[in-house]
Amino acid sequence: MLKEKLTAGVTAYDHWSKRRLHGPAGANNLNLWVLACMDERLPVDEALGIHVDTPAGGGDAHCFRNAGGIVTDDAIRSAMLTCNFFGTKEIVIVQHTQCGMLSANAQDLEKYFRDKGIDPDNITLDPTLPELKLGKGAFAKWIGMMDDVDVTCMKTVEAFKNHPLIPKDTVISGWIWEVETRRLRTPTLDHEKRARTDVTSAPFGVKGKQPARWG
């Protein structure tokens, strides 16, 4: 009967709208956390076939975006919270070809700030948490520019798998969205599979390797 259908819909929406009150029992629709690059050409919903951004508040996943879709302290903070306290069981990392994080050497970016009179070795990263500091010479690493997006994606997956704050039973995978072809693929070093896209810093004319971010 329609009454029962409407009642069930109202009850389900009430739980959806107040799901943060329920801890792990109020997980998002797919028990999923997505880490993605902030690039406007990376449509998370289209790439993964889910509803995160569209329709607004689709509810399928928690989605965290940063420059490159890489491991940062705040990405770890967000993943730690959703996986341990909000019922998330899976992490999906989405990076992409033609990424702006391939477009410059981080040492040149550091020089940009030094030329403006800013000392990257003595800077407050978060004014609300002045205890958060970088070691001397770490600023260029912190920026997180890439030499190769596929390699970075693989290393990002491993970083989350090995992090002590992420539960060991969390399912973690990484994917590359090809901006040129609008298709998703697994990260690979196979030249033929990558030939139709720009996946390294070489097409951007970047000189020299990026500072070694990965241990």
Segment 111-130, tens digit of pLDDT: 999 999 999 999 999 999 99
- Cα–Cα distance measured from residue 212 to residue 186, given in angstroms and rounded to the nearest whole number: 24
- Cα–Cα distance measured from residue 114 to residue 49, given in angstroms and rounded to the nearest whole number: 43
- Cα–Cα distance measured from residue 172 to residue 34, given in angstroms and rounded to the nearest whole number: 10
Q: For the stretch 31-40, what's the b/e string if a residue is b when 16 or more beta carbons lie within 10 angstroms of its beta carbon?
A: bbbbbbbebe
For residue 57, the model assigns a pLDDT of 77
Is the pLDDT assigned to residue 54 strictly greater than 90? Answer: no
Residue 73: φ, ψ to 5°: -60, -35
Residue position matching structure tokens 């509810």: 59
- Taking the model in full, what pTM does it have? 0.94
With residue 66 as reference, give the H or E element that holds it.
strand 62-66
- Cα–Cα distance measured from residue 122 to residue 177, given in angstroms and rounded to the nearest whole number: 36
Report residue 169's pLDDT band, with 50, 70 and 90 as the boundaries: very high
> 88 is written with which tokens?
């998330």
For residue 122, the model assigns a pLDDT of 93
Report residue 56's pLDDT band, with 50, 70 and 90 as the boundaries: confident
Segment 128-166, tens digit of pLDDT: 999 999 999 999 999 999 999 999 999 999 999 999 999
For residue 50, the model assigns a pLDDT of 96
Q: In the sheet where 32-37 sits, what is the strand order?
A: 62-66, 32-37, 90-96, 171-178, 183-185
Report residue 16's pLDDT band, with 50, 70 and 90 as the boundaries: confident
Domains delineated in the chain: 26-105+145-204 (3.40.1050.10)
Instruction: Compute the half-sphere exposure of residue 143: CA atoms within 13 Å on the CB side of its CA.
Output: 24
Q: Helix, strand, coil shares of the chain as percentages rounded to 5?
A: 35, 15, 50
Is the pLDDT assigned to residue 55 strictly greater than 80? Answer: no
For residue 53, the model assigns a pLDDT of 80
Q: For the stretch 100-127, what's the b/e string if a residue is b when 16 or more beta carbons lie within 10 angstroms of its beta carbon?
A: bbbebbbbeebeeeeeeeeebeeeeeee
For residue 215, the model assigns a pLDDT of 58
